[in-house]
Amino acid sequence: MESMGHLASKVGQTLKNEGVTSLFAKTKRYIIYNSSKMNRKPKYKDILFINGCTLPHPERYRVDHQMEQLESNGLSVDKVFYGNLKLETLKYYRGFVFFRCPITPEVKQFIERAKYFNKKVFFDIDDLVVDKFYTDTIPYVQQMSKEDKAVYDDGVVRMGETLKMCDYVITTTEALARELKKRFNKEVFVNRNTASEEMVELSLDAIKKEKKLHNNVTIGYLSGSITHNPDFDLVKKPLLRIMEEFDDVNLKIVGYLDLPKEFDKFAERITTEPFGSWQNLPSIIAKLDINLAPLQESVFNEAKSENKWVEAALCKTPTVASDFGAFKTMIKNGKTGILCNTEDDWYEGIKSLIVDKNKGREIADNAYKYVIENCVTTYSGFDVTKFIESKMAKNYAFVLPSTNISGGVNVVIKHCNILRKNGADVTIINVEKESNNIINDDGEINVVSVKKYRLCARFYAVIATLYTTLEFVKKYPEAYRRMYLVQNFETDFCKYGSVVKRDANATYNAIGVEYITISEWCKDWLKKKFGKEAKLARNGIDIEKFKVEDRKFEGKIKILVEGNSSDHYKNVDESFRIIEKLDKEKFEISYLSYEGKPKKWYHVDHFYHRVPHDEIGRVYGESDILLKSSILESFSYPPLEMMATGGFAVVAPNGGNVEYLVDGENCLLYKQGDIDDAVSKINKLVKDAELRKTIVTNAKKTVQSRDWKKLEKEVLELYK
């Protein structure tokens, strides 16, 4: 985007040379242009619909219309054709709805991975085309050639396989839900087909344009497909009788139908129209005086929806329908439509609307009012939204400034893995740059970069992990809870006199934020300095990642110094001033750092730089003593990690280590800044075998008490 100075200059020139009107016009274009650029940024959303159907009509009702329902109730949605589904798409949505989707290797892998990340998967179906048990009963299917039926059956079976893999099912009618529960033993939610906003708009336009001022009566039969031929048989005799009796009755056939030869004698009063665009349908229906919706009784047909009645009601055309299935459920006989069981019912029902046009108008008006209030996407989506939301895993977003290796980042990753293993959907939001998913021995965590993606999804909790990330958390609108995982007093990291120092300090007194922490020290100062009650879960260690090595203390003693040399609070210089006073003939010095490198005056025999966390146990295991001089740490991991390998720690005490270190029991503590004291403690450790035996025994107990497996419940309680 343009700089503010340059933009201001252009505004001034336009105002001076072209006037206010031109300035307004250009400003509008500028805003639209930049808004479109923002909107082109891909988004992290709540739900992705995966459409497996190539027919436009089912996709419209079960994908587009349900998307409209969810959007009308605050969820962000997208759709994709199943053939274009990519595995990497998985991490950018909370849940997935597969509609009529046949199983493929890609779909199978996608669902398996979704379940790994605790992202819920729903299967949506509007027909019993998921099991041959049902489709084999369809007369049209029975008449297929062997080759065609084999292809058809393959699609049915594969669709059923996808359904079996999904967690929940969404469908259109109670009858369909009953069969799916019985056949697949799944929890099924009924979300009836509804009309879209556009359908309502087109229907209202059609009503205005197609006023029924003619004297003739037009009866319409709109067939969805060739499979509906048997349904028409229900109304064949009643219709023939009506057309014999009333010369002013015309018949309109839309779609696929093999009209019986008995109707040939009424050819001049019968018009047909091929199946066309749905946008033209309201105009056709609005010209009708009566809409017919016959449906033969069968398990398959009982599961069908009441779409024909809804579409006619929107155009204020009364419907005469079978007293069966969804029509029986939705239509109030004589009020919002006419229901029929026998041929006499059909005859009497149709005739009543011909001889009493007021009755037809009253039924049509009642049906219109009911459908507008109950069967339009905008007004009908709360229940399905509530169902989907209730089944979704609690989702947590941890906001990190960077995923580079550090003790604090490793703790966040551990919390993420514990939550995921216990059923949560966890995402790390990287505010700095795009990065790959984090994979370690505990598993895999999704990472999303806000530099690349705009977050539009709802989160159960959004968690800040550093003072620089709290502003993002506070401003994110779609979060039920806002939390701050405090791992250190970051005010002390900043120089005196800087705005940054004040900004860091202010984060500990935020409004509407829940504070959680990993050390007694942090819990204490949050309460005393800021009056914040913080929940605590102690930090732990993965014992199995650290191989215990017996230290012989023969030959050269190996000392390891750990910390970033450029961070003053790590106080690495003090460690190397201690090293200077040691006998170099007796000691071998290694230095481990994630960021800073050795300074020129450091005496270093081996330098370990940016060692992956899963390999850190090897580095500690190769040394005998850890020398750690940090001034400030919320929780100091290196001494605990050294102890886990059977090694020894000589450490300057600080708020982040005294909660588990006890001088002379599991370590040796020296007075911060007292170089001679540190040298004395190291030499004492080398000479005193009994002291080492005591320290090793107690250190082992300390490490075991900090086993992450024992602390998982504490971590889960933080986010409960």
**Amino acid, single-letter form, for residue 664:** G
Residue 300 confidence (pLDDT): 86
- Residue 524: CB partners within 8 Å, gap ≥ 6? none
Residue 560 CB neighbour total at 10 angstroms: 25
Distance CA 601, CA 670 (A): 23
- Kindly report the CATH class assigned to 43-190: alpha beta
Bridge partners, 1 (sequence order): none
Distance CA 584, CA 368 (A): 94
**Amino acid, single-letter form, for residue 567:** D
Residue 454 confidence (pLDDT): 93
Bridge partners, 78 (sequence order): 48
393: tokens are 């895993």
Distance CA 241, CA 201 (A): 37
Residue 497 confidence (pLDDT): 81
Distance CA 650, CA 699 (A): 13
Residue 86 CB neighbour total at 10 angstroms: 9
Q: Which of 356, 358, 359, 325 is nearest to 340 (CA)?
A: 325
Q: Which of 675, 686, 590, 571 is nearest to 630 (CA)?
A: 571
pLDDT along the chain (720 residues), means of 10: 46 48 45 45 94 94 98 97 96 97 97 98 96 89 93 95 98 96 96 97 93 80 74 95 96 91 96 91 95 94 94 98 97 98 98 96 98 97 98 97 85 96 97 84 93 94 96 96 95 82 94 96 96 96 94 95 92 98 96 93 96 90 97 90 97 94 98 98 97 98 96 96
Span between the terminal Cα atoms of the chain, in Å:
42
Secondary element (H or E) of residue 102: none
717: tokens are 């309680």
- Are the C-beta atoms of 269 and 258 separated by less than 8 Å? no
285-286-288 Cα angle (round to 5): 65
298: tokens are 């069968």
Residue 568 confidence (pLDDT): 87
Distance CA 306, CA 176 (A): 13
Residue 25 confidence (pLDDT): 45
Task: Order the strands of the 290-293 sheet from edge to edge.
Answer: 270-273, 249-254, 217-222, 290-293, 319-322, 338-340
Beta strands in 387-523 (DSSP E): 395-400, 425-430, 438-440, 443-449, 454-455, 459-464, 479-486, 514-517
pTM: 0.87
- Are the C-beta atoms of 400 and 466 separated by less than 8 Å? yes
Distance CA 497, CA 580 (A): 35
Residue 569 confidence (pLDDT): 87
Same fold, 197-375 and 546-710: yes
DSSP 693: H
Residue 525 confidence (pLDDT): 95
Residue 53 confidence (pLDDT): 95
Backbone angles phi, psi at 105, to 5 degrees: -55, -35
Bridge partners, 448 (sequence order): 429
546-710 under CATH 3.40.50.2000, yes or no: yes
The length of the chain in residues reads 720
Write the DSSP string, 308-331.
HHHHHHHTT--EEEESSHHHHHH-
Domain segments of the chain as ranges: 1-37, 43-190, 197-375, 393-536, 546-710
Bridge partners, 250 (sequence order): 218
- Kindly report the CATH class assigned to 393-536: alpha beta
> What are the percentages of helix, strand and coil residues in the chain, rounded to 5?
50, 20, 30
Residue 121 confidence (pLDDT): 98
Number of helices (H) and strands (E), helices first, in the chain?
Answer: 28, 27
Fold of 197-375: Rossmann fold (3.40.50)
Residue 391 confidence (pLDDT): 98
Residue 95, classed as helix, strand or coil, is: strand
